[in-house]
Amino acid sequence: MRRSTPYLLEEIDPEGPIGAIGTSISDAAALDVPLAKARESGFGVVIDTEPHRVQLPEGHRLRGDSFKGAELDWVSGQFDPDAQRLSPDSRSDLLARHRDAQAGGGATIFRWSGHRVTEGYELSPAREAEHELAGEFLALARVSGATHPAPGSGAPRGVALGLTLDPRKLRQRTITAIAKAYAELDPDIFWLDVWNFAGAASHYQTVRYLARLLQRESGRPVLLCGLGSLAEGALRNQVAAVCLGWGRGELCYPPRQLPPPEPGKKRGASFGIHDFHPAIRGAVPLGESFERAARLLYLAHPCDCENHAPTDRPQGQRERLRHNATWSERLGAEAIVGEPIAATAELAQIVRSARSLREELGFGKLKPAWGAATVDPSDAERIEIPASLWLPRAS
């Protein structure tokens, strides 16, 4: 959730598949009232403090006032985790800053998301250092949980340990080494931020394999973030959880440049929001050249999200975001119902229909990763995540 989208909370069913509301540290202060309402409604709150921002050049927009105000911009110049090593005191200070920023933002679960590092043939020195940081954050969070109890609860917060990963750089031996090392830790959930996911079948197979291997080795649930609409495939393929939303559906590094705001409008209103349509399992392209195809799509496959007329394309940023949020929640609920093997088989038929319709209307091919999601060699059971993970309650 961003500061421009608190109204999306109105669309979410507290009894549905969504367990937590997330936001960036940049927006946390401006969203204090909506986040408090989210907690009151039974949702957890995750504050992403984004340690990787210090790897960007000084003066970058993501190292601006909100990041500095949270005392997270701790280094002069750019931090290079591949070349620089932190002293024990520096590590303790860094991790405490991120814990305290999350506590101040009202998070109900502490999360360490980590830096972007270069992977090695097994564990690179930078990945080993990140593993140590993750372990130290876990210990710090466990010890200080009673000092910073979860808002709305007398119980300590849970802990999520994150890894930032680029699927283009992961080899089989690296995946095995990462899973083995992190499985020795004992968080409540692992959180994998997947950067630069382009929808290639090999990318999807790589991160799916790592997620499920880590689940199997650790016995803990794994959450995948950055897969866009392929998040549905991950849920159908026994990955325990996913993260979706404007700004987190896809993770790109280096970050994309923002378009200049239109005259007289706030920056948030200058973005063109694509509308997702389930019949094509993807976004409907913007632009005049696709208007006719979009009109035919909604006429032939009306939308029942109740945020716009069923046979009309949603219009404007707010209407499209409401529409997208409804479908994210709905497809997430459908993906986790029933046996995983049946969910994957059902996806195969969905993908066949989507491919045919996209070709008929001229929307371009479906990303190859969808095909990979329909072929699942695993018969593992899905790990169920209790609601208390996100919003712990005192017994």
Residue 249 CA neighbour count, 13 Å, CB half: 17
Sequence-distant (6+) residues with CB within 8 A of 89 are none
pLDDT value of residue 2:
87
Q: Is the pLDDT of residue 198 over 50?
A: yes
Q: What is the DSSP letter of 72?
A: -
> Which alpha helices (DSSP H) does 220-365 contain, by range?
231-236, 291-300, 316-335, 340-361
Distance from C-alpha of 384 to C-alpha of 93, rounded to nearest angstrom: 35
pLDDT confidence band for 87 (50 / 70 / 90):
very high
Average pLDDT, the chain: 91
- pLDDT tens for residues 106-162? 999 999 999 999 999 999 999 999 999 999 999 999 998 777 778 877 788 999 999
Q: What is the DSSP letter of 385?
A: -
**Bridge partners, 223 (sequence order):** 191, 241
Domain ranges of the chain: 6-257+384-389, 267-373
The burial class, CB within 10 Å (0-12 / 13-18 / 19+), for 87 is exposed
CA 189 to mean position of chain CA atoms: 13
pLDDT confidence band for 379 (50 / 70 / 90):
low
- pLDDT tens for residues 262-320? 666 655 544 578 999 999 999 999 888 999 999 999 999 999 999 999 999 999 989 99
- pLDDT tens for residues 334-376? 999 888 888 999 999 999 999 999 999 999 999 999 999 999 8
Q: Is the pLDDT of residue 188 over 70?
A: yes
- pLDDT tens for residues 38-57? 999 999 999 999 999 999 99
pLDDT value of residue 71:
93
pLDDT value of residue 254:
77
Rounded to 5°, angle at Cα 328 from 325 and 333: 130
Residue whose tokens read 């929808």: 199
Distance from C-alpha of 303 to C-alpha of 315, rounded to nearest angstrom: 13
Q: Is the pLDDT of residue 395 over 80?
A: no
Distance from C-alpha of 208 to C-alpha of 229, rounded to nearest angstrom: 14
Give the fold, CATH level 3, of 6-257+384-389: TIM Barrel (3.20.20)
